[in-house]
Homo-oligomer: A and B are copies of this chain.
Amino acid sequence: MMSELELLSQVRCFEGEQRQYRHVSKRLGCSMQLSVYLPPQAQTQKVPALYWLSGLTCNDQNFSTKAGAQRVAAELGVALVMPDTSPRGEGVPDDPEGHWDFGLGAGFYLNATQAPWSEHYQMYDYVVEELPALLQAHLPLSELQSISGHSMGGHGALVIALRNPGRYRSVSAFAPIVHPSACPWGQKAFSRYLGEDPERWKAWDSVELLRQGAELLPALIDQGLADNFLEQELRTPDWQAACQARGLEVPVRYREGYDHSYYFIASFIEEHLRFHAQHLLQ
């Protein structure tokens, strides 16, 4: 059983444990690394988990090293689960042109349907099904989960929450790609992973899911107003409009002067963790 989840490193952090694991993902058909932070409370009881989905070019370590989230996670007693952003390794196809916005590091948290991507690029099933089952079997994690993410990972968090309101207690995002069907990053990725027909993209697009009436969990979005990607790629106003059309409160906070970086995430991660804890620990 131990070989299912191989511990690569473990260091103490805020009296809890920052760990990195490797395991073979059946769904992705490759070996994957992931980072997990276990708060000190996990030494004596099962704790709820916040899944964090990272953005383009990231791996499982950007959030663990740069966000400063462990301090508050330790205080609240919430584990942090940080998966990689795509399948990896020999045999996993990458963008033929080698660009950073597609392929390795850019799985977009969906299930690809088009060859050659469909063999490995099944990040949605990996994050929603395989990883929670694996981690709950081997680590002191309860079944209570919330989900958050940044940029491409904010897209992932919103889509996963809108498709699975029963699996998560709350959702949040930093600078999410809310409307991938309508932006260059999303159109490039979706046309390759899912095919050219935009109808097939709607199931993986948070604005489209909102328009279709999907249930919205308690949600929180932070978006910097000095973020260079806001207008063309992130398109936050499309999400506002989709909420407003349904009479939903718009959980978007614009942040004057903040950009797309981890300095922005670090500045507001405490508020996101306390928001999720309200729903995970009540």
Contact = CB atoms under 8 A, between A and B. Distances in A.
Report copies per complex: 2
Contacts of A68: 68, 71, 266
A61 to B, nearest CB: 11
A259 interface: yes
Contacts of A13: 263-264, 266-267
Interface string A250-282: 000001011101111011001000000000000
A133 interface: no
Given A18-B263, A65-B66, A66-B66, A257 B12 contact: yes
Contacts of A12: 224, 226, 255, 257-259, 263-264, 267
B264 A11 contact: yes
A181 interface: no
Interface size class of A (residues with CB under 8 A): 20 to 34
A162 to B, nearest CB: 30
Q: Which interface residue of A65, A66, A258 has the most chain B CB atoms within 10 A?
A: A65
Contacts of A18: 263
A148 interface: no
Given A12-B259, A12-B263, A12-B264, 10 more contacts: A11-B264, A12-B255, A12-B267, A13-B263, A13-B264, A65-B65, A65-B66, A68-B71, A71-B266, A71-B270
19 contacts: A11-B259, A11-B261, A11-B264, A12-B226, A12-B257, A12-B263, A12-B267, A13-B263, A13-B264, A13-B267, A14-B266, A15-B267, A18-B263, A65-B65, A66-B66, A68-B71, A68-B266, A70-B263, A71-B266
